Structure 1
Amino acid sequence: MTTRLIPYIQFAGAAREAVTFYQEVFGGELTISTFGDFGMPGADPSHVMHSELKADGFDLMGADGLEPDQVVGETRISAAFMSDEVERVLGWFARLSDGGTVRQPLEKQVWGDMYGEVTDRFGVRWMFNVALPGDDAPLA
């Protein structure tokens, strides 16, 4: 096994909704385990103890905090995609923007790549950098 980075996002009671949404955006296989599945005393049995989305090319994990005050305010992560698949990233960007906030439109930048940022409806900031194949690449 090689070393790789897997984003693990902490949510304040919205993990199931968030990871299910991410599965709709990215596809892949999603597994969810709740605190109730493991009989964790003192925890809300419906909250997500661990989830894992295995999508094409990456994994994403998420959970709710054991205590309500463990996760407050915005989610503490930014997820960055580096890609050369323009159409795929355009689709992801559009779907993550639905109900979210576009922080930087996905457009060609001075360094020659397409770049954009969106904060989704769960407070997760997504950054996309797409290496363009040439000057005739489609722009958002």
Structure 2
Amino acid sequence: MGNANQKVTPFLMFSGTSEEAMNYYTSIFDDSEIIHILRYGANEVGEEGSVLHATFSLKGQNFMCIDSSVKHEFTFTPSISLFVTCDTEDEIYRTFEALSQDGIVLMPLAPSPVSEKFGWVQDKYGVSWQLNLAKI
């Protein structure tokens, strides 16, 4: 399903929740799947069973992610977000509602000068999403 010819791939670093996040995202977006998961084994630098490297796709766009084996103070920031063009009004409402659960609405769904509907949300993992329903 993913795009094997894709040359630029968003890469997300989680602190122990990457598999949970992948399962969550692939349950929300159509045309999505987890493609590959490589896990840390016993006596490796990361926590055994956590994600050393994984690939998944959302709406045909490939992503990579890991569970960081290093503790760090930083996390995701809305300064970079994933911009998703939704195909229908039902899809934008459903996706916005799902990503908003336990997250933060940065901009509620509303018409914009260039969109039928636009909304911006930071999900429960800290990843920011801009959802857009283009004008017909």
Interval of TM-score (by shorter of Structure 1 and Structure 2): 0.7 to 0.9
Structure 1 moving runs of 4+ over 6 Å: none
Q: Find the counterpart in structure 2 of residue 87 from structure 1.
A: 90
Tell me which protein shows more helix as a share of its residues.
1
RMSD of aligned Cα (Å): 2.3
Q: Find the counterpart in structure 2 of residue 121 from structure 1.
A: 124
Partner AA of 1:104 in structure 2: M
| TM, length-normalised to structure 2 | 0.79
Structure 1 segment 1-140 matched on structure 2, within 5 A: 2-27=5-30, 28-30=32-34, 31-36=36-41, 41-69=44-72, 72-75=73-76, 77-133=80-136
* Structure number with larger C-alpha Rg: 1
Give the total of aligned pairs: 129
Partner AA of 1:74 in structure 2: T
Tell which deviates more after alignment, 40-49 or 100-109. Answer: 40-49
* Kept after mapping to 1: 8 A contact 2:6/2:62: no
Unaligned runs of 5+ in 2: none
Rounded Cα–Cα distance in structure 2 between residues aligned with 1:87 and 1:10:
30
Unaligned runs of 5+ in 1: 134-140
Rounded Cα–Cα distance in structure 2 between residues aligned with 1:129 and 1:112:
7
Structure 1 residues 34 and 104, CA gap change in structure 2 (3 angstroms) = same
Q: Aligned residues: percent identity?
A: 26
